[in-house]
A and B are shown apart, each in its own frame.
Chain A
Amino acid sequence: MRSEESLAGRARAAAASYRLGMEGSAGERLAALVDALLAEIARRPALGARVALLLREIVAAQTRRDPIGLADRLEHELAPLLD
């Protein structure tokens, strides 16, 4: 099992917070994930190309406050790309 500190683990943890309605901690986790992800993309630009569209969808879901839409994208689309 991967540690929660891995990018995929962070994406799943943020998704779980959104599914539980814990918007505050979910937002904190998402922000930390995005920071870590951007640092990783700086090292591996190919990863950026793979996740760019998905990140736009994630931002859009966050803007319209769609917690389950966000959770599905984080857990079932972003995390597998990061595993």
Chain B
Amino acid sequence: MNARALERFPEVARALAAASAPAEVGWLAGPTPALVVDGVQLASRVDARAEAALQARLVPEHAERATLYGFAQGELARVLLARPALRALDVVVLSAAVARAVLERCPAEWLADTRVRLRLPAGLDELAPPWAASPADLRLADDEGARLRDLVVLELATPLIRRRLGERARERENGNADARFASDAPVEELFGTRPGASLCVAAAGPTLARHYRELAARAHELVAVDAALKPLRAAGITPAFAVSQDAHEGNLRRLFALPRAGLESCTLVYLPSVPTIVLEEWPGPRRAARAALWSSGSVVHAAVDLARALGARRIELIGADFATPAGQSHVAGAACEKVRPVLAAGPWVRNGRGVRVATLANLLGYLRDLERYIARHPEVEFVNRSADGAAIAGARLEEASRAE
């Protein structure tokens, strides 16, 4: 390895020296030869400079400092360092094995620039803007880099997410939401009605099914997402609250295609996106959440925020797996249950046992947003009740029920 290049960064040098070599490293010929690590090309083999110039556009031209997540073969760092305004460049290693493979094979004169600080992901909990990223390093991130990778991917997807949310908002406007809202009492009236409570949030992940016995005795403490209703009712459980934010009538009809008897005691809390026609058939009380509940895309967010707003000081997350173990997206019996092939190259997350499990890009985004929410609410104790779902930062793992 290029030991001199790493002299200024002894901690990084130690981590890279300890990293195991990637399974496969090779060169692709071209005007700008590119390394291929485990089937993933690090940089353009035709015009690496033009590629880096494009990637660097995420950092404003006159920025004085910037962060780089992954450095591919170094070209993006060179392009940023060529800017006279730049005074500090933090470069974060997303995969120690890839960084080592690169520094063993590629020139690294840019590391000698005193503006550069090479860093490991440990201790970096949030992104430091302005930043740019190497997509190949995102793809190859190791366990230590996984959280930052997810935050970068989420941030890069934000324009797309906003566009889709905008589309949903337009659907909502077309759905005559105001008339409904005039007839249903606001959810805010319920806030603070369960002070200091211990509440459970039931999401519709595959591990929900393990908790039916316990939940049957705790139904009065249960806030369920709409997709969990059908399997819960099939297990004879009526939650105190159901939360819905789905804008698609067809989806909702499938989620709510269940016997009405027994649901009279369940309060449906709905976000403005929910179509009127589905609400009208709800046999129990309804509460409208205009802008009162937080959600960045997943109904699990709104359910957790409802539990907190009700006054809970302990929230147990049940079936909140944010993963697709064995390719299964939902608990058995959920209307939206799907089994997807698990792709070796697909997204992954560490579960509560430290094992990589398959997931989906949108679930990773929801997970990282929930972790940020948890960090904003230290007054609430969050508990993750499943070791087989994704580990949730800030939520203590507690598989067994307190009552058991």
Contact = CB atoms under 8 A, between A and B. Distances in A.
Contacts of A25: 157, 159-160
Contact of A21 (B135, B159, B346): B135
A63 interface: yes
Contact of B361 (A19, A24, A76): A24
B40 A16 contact: no
B58 A68 contact: no
A24 B159 CA distance: 10
Given A18-B135, A68-B135, A23 B40 contact: no
Contact of A72 (B45, B134, B346): B45
Contacts, number: 77
B47 to A, nearest CB: 8
Contact of A23 (B51, B55, B72, B157): B157
Contact of B139 (A16, A22, A66, A75): A66
Interface string B136-176: 10110000000000001100110110000000000000000
B39 A19 contact: no
A3 B195 CA distance: 60
B160 A76 contact: no
Nearest to B39: A64
B77 to A, nearest CB: 16
A20 B41 contact: no
A48 interface: no
B269 interface: no
Given A19-B44, A23-B361, A63-B345, A68 B136 contact: yes
Chain A binding surface, main DSSP class: helix
A9 interface: no
B49 to A, nearest CB: 12
Contacts of A72: 41, 44-46
B139 A67 contact: yes
Interface residues of B, number: 32
A18 B36 CA distance: 16
Residue among A68, A69, A76 with max Cβ neighbours from chain B (10 Å): A68
A68 B42 contact: yes
A71 interface: yes
A24 B139 CA distance: 14
A50 interface: no
B156 A22 contact: yes
Q: Which of B133, B134, B153, B156 has the most CB of A within 10 A?
A: B156
A65 B361 contact: no
Give the 5 A-B CB pairs with smallest separation, nearest first: A21-B135, A69-B41, A67-B135, A68-B41, A76-B46
29 contacts: A16-B54, A18-B135, A19-B51, A19-B54, A20-B54, A21-B55, A21-B134, A21-B135, A21-B152, A21-B156, A22-B160, A23-B361, A24-B160, A24-B361, A63-B345, A64-B345, A65-B40, A65-B139, A66-B39, A67-B139, A68-B42, A68-B43, A68-B136, A69-B41, A71-B44, A72-B41, A75-B46, A76-B46, A76-B47
Interface of B: 34, 36, 39-47, 51, 54-55, 58, 72, 133-136, 138-139, 152-153, 156-157, 159-160, 343, 345-346, 361
Given A20-B55, A76-B47, 6 more contacts: A19-B135, A21-B138, A24-B157, A25-B160, A67-B139, A69-B36
